[in-house]
Amino acid sequence: MSGLIKTFQEATLLQCGFLDKLVDLDMASVAAFSESMVDFFKATPDNKFVYGLAAGRSALALYSFLQLIQNHFDNVFPFTLEDPVQRHYRPGKNLAIAISGSGETLSVNKYIDDFITRGGEIKLITANEEGTACKMVREYERGTVLVIKARTKYATDKDKRSRLSPMGTEFELEVLAFLNALFVDLQSRLNGVCESSCPGYQSRILDFKENALLISKMDETDPGQLDHWFKKLLPRSGRYVIGGVGRSGLVARAFEMRLTHLNKISYWERDFNTPSFQIGDVYIPITGNGNTYEALEGTVTALSKDADVMPITANPSSRQVAILEKRGKKKDIAIIPVKPEYAGLFSGDTSSTTWLMSDYTKFRSPIFEISASIFTNSVVAVGAEFLGIMEEGMKRMHV
């Protein structure tokens, strides 16, 4: 498996390079994009609605941003493609944020057209300046476009990114990190601090990168751990059940989608068609603090059915870890490292019995979610190499 460890490290370092690109963006454009949302998010007594227009893993990246909005603004409510624009459209009280790497996603473009027809405000992030979405929004007087150059699932080049970052992973990760960092700048502007260099944004991106670099050294800090984890995760014919709630749940769903693209039978834990555990299955809960009630409940259930449990967490002192340690399965846990200043956020074994989020959970930095996205993306690169699946094969499994 030594070759797979090298693949994991290369994939992680490549993604750190994607974060570097976000620092190298034209800060005037980033500042303008952030400033364009300030008026909408200013405190008012009226209810307002934000539509997230995206599909697939790009949508999951955007929904992380929508959760931040919902957590911080009491009267701003997010909606997705599942909610028709007509249902909640109120002139002057709607904002659409569209994400489309290629700019050719039909469902997204249809909703963009709906917003244009009704005169609503639209923000678009895309990788394709020549795409249909970009042309529509740029020609619209209430539209704003930010281009983040990245490889999407429609790319035809055969460089190493097709092996280490297949099918749009680059764009999806960059959107996830960009929006989470942009939120810092947006908050600053709402508080009256408007700097063209976007220092809060840049600081947050660099923070994400510094944590991600620690992931590339996991095999050095705990030799043999990743090798064991890959050996147990990949060569199996059983089903993969991925769990997580909140923003970790969005990472879990993105990971589950990629397992499907690797031709694995996979389910997200909270889907209606997810089957009960049986021998040969593996349950992979993604939980930063390792004490999430749903993850603990799923772990106990999976173990009672003799399924494997392989958590992804940042808390080595969690209840999740304790449960598996008692069964002699500590090496089945992937502990994502974080910088020392964040270690206190991911420690202890305090658990709740409700899915409702505390203020701590709502407002903390999404450091784990970004790192977990990078980790799982690197695991996918390892899985593709181990299984001998090329990007073209993954595309055939893509909806």
Q: Is the pLDDT of residue 85 over 50?
A: yes
Q: Is the pLDDT of residue 353 over 70?
A: no
Q: What are the residue ranges spanned by the domains of the chain? A: 2-214, 220-397
- Angle made by CA atoms 383, 165, 298, in degrees to the nearest 5: 50
Reported as type and span, the H/E element at residue 53 is strand 48-53
From 321, 394, 391, select the one nearest 163 (Cα to Cα).
391
Bridge partners of residue 2, in order along the sequence:
none
pLDDT tens-digit map of 57-72: 899 899 989 988 988 8
Q: pTM for the complete prediction?
A: 0.91
- If phi > 0 it is left, if psi is from -120 to 50 it is alpha, else beta; for residue 267 that is beta
Fold match, 2-214 / 220-397: yes
Q: Which residue has the higher pLDDT, 272 or 103?
A: 103
Residue with tokens 């980033």: 30
From 238, 349, 247, 249, select the one nearest 294 (Cα to Cα).
249
pLDDT tens-digit map of 297-351: 999 999 999 999 999 999 999 999 999 999 999 999 999 999 999 888 888 877 6
Q: What is the pLDDT of residue 93?
A: 86
Residue type, 19: L
Least confident of 89-93, 192-196, 277-281: 89-93
Fold designation for 2-214: Rossmann fold (3.40.50)
C-alpha span between 5 and 378 (Å, rounded): 10
The class that CATH gives domain 220-397 is alpha beta
CA quadruple 252, 166, 168, 6: dihedral sign: positive
Cβ pair 308, 232 in contact under 8 A: yes
